[in-house]
Amino acid sequence: MSGIVDKASDAVKSVSESIQGAGATASKEANKEQAKDNNNSIGDRLGAAKDAASDKASEQKHEAKS
């Protein structure tokens, strides 16, 4: 019985990590677009680039766990 519970728990954790990784990917892509937009101020563009880098690290962390 414990084996079944462990497998179910592992499956839930894997799905959770996949969802979180997908969220980080979406955020990274949005930040990349904002960083490329010449209509944004340089401060906004730099902030978006920093956020995209942070999202990339989060994305990789979640992919490694799933």
The phi and psi torsions of 6 (rounded to 5 degrees) equal -65, -40
Has residue 51 been placed in a domain? yes
Please count the structural domains in the chain.
1
33 inside domain = yes
Helices (H), 1-66: 2-36, 42-65
pLDDT of amino acid 1:
63
Which residues span the domain enclosing 61?
25-66
Q: What is the reported pTM?
A: 0.77
- Digit-by-digit pLDDT tens for the chain (66 residues) are 678 888 888 888 888 888 998 999 999 999 999 999 999 999 999 999 999 999 999 999 988 887
